[in-house]
Amino acid sequence: MDFAIVVHWAAILISLASIAVAVVLMVAIGVQKVNGHIKTVKRLFMESLIVFSVIDLIVLVRRVLPLDEAATIIALRLLFSLILFLVAVTGQVAAIVYSNPKSSSWKDILGAIFAGTKRSIVFASFIFIVISALIPVWILPFRVELRSCSPSSLELYVPIYAPLSLIFLEIVFIAFIVYPVGVFLLAGYATKNVPVSRIRKTFAVCLISLGISTYLLVLLLSSCFPEVSDIIRIPCYIFMTYFFRRMTTFQRLYHMDLEELKEYVALMKRLLKR
């Protein structure tokens, strides 16, 4: 079999696998019962998986149905906007987890986030950076060029990044590592619940890997095989879903009152006897 065909179909299968994994994990998260502010975190997490699937779909369409120059520019602008949306959502999730509001209503969530002046200023600065990054995406001229993908005969329009665009990319990447990742680490150290603390810290490591894979995706769009970034992203999907389910389970047990805990222990004993 021709090596070029193998590479082409491997890239398609990677994108399809990434989309399929995201759908399965959305179902796994969707069936989990959560309370309080974790409901909002759950919804944002599921939205992130949906957006990642749309990003993979854009990359897949770009390969299967090569777009013309105008369509490629629109598709890439949309893709970069979705990535910035993911960055903002991750920051929101980190702020909610750290502030630990009483309920899932946005009034309580925003109140908890802005209760600490220093934390609210950092959060607002992070969101400002993400919004500012939309300027080069939609306002500045966007250049693409036709590239032949060796060893295949596939021809794709790839982005040509201006220096200012690369500067914004670096700033957003650094802000992502400093804020959401840093907040999850702080939240891990802040809680007295040891299992939850450990999971939050591990979740932060997963976020670093996810950030790196997304950063690579943006850079690799200038090549013929951006799907390579999914090799890092797919395990991140799985681990983050696993840790999210574990974290919410531990938190639910941790916040049980004494009577609820007694009922839970009695139920587990009955199940073990069977």
pLDDT, residue 272, reads 61
Q: Give residue 104's identity as a one-letter amino acid code.
A: S
CATH topology classification for 3-246: Rhopdopsin 7-helix transmembrane proteins (1.20.1070)
Domain boundaries, the chain: 3-246
Which one-letter DSSP state was computed for residue 193? Answer: -
What is the C-alpha separation between 21 and 238, in angstroms, rounded? 8
Of 70, 48, 82, 64, which is closest to residue 15 (Cα–Cα)?
A: 64
H helices then E strands: how many in the chain? 11, 2
The answer to whether residues 46 and 26 touch, using CB atoms and an 8 Å cutoff, is yes
69: exposed, middle or buried (Cβ count in 10 Å: 0-12, 13-18, 19+): exposed
Of 31, 16, 106, which is closest to residue 63 (Cα–Cα)?
A: 16
Judged by DSSP in three states, 102 sits in coil
What is the C-alpha separation between 30 and 52, in angstroms, rounded? 16
User: Going residue by residue through the chain (274 aa), what tens digit of pLDDT does each one get?
Assistant: 566 677 778 888 999 999 999 999 999 888 888 777 888 888 999 999 999 999 999 999 988 887 889 999 999 999 999 999 999 999 998 888 888 777 777 777 877 777 766 778 888 899 999 999 988 888 888 899 988 876 566 788 899 988 888 888 999 999 999 999 988 888 888 877 777 788 888 888 999 999 999 999 999 998 888 899 999 999 998 988 888 877 666 555 444 444 444 554 565 566 566 6
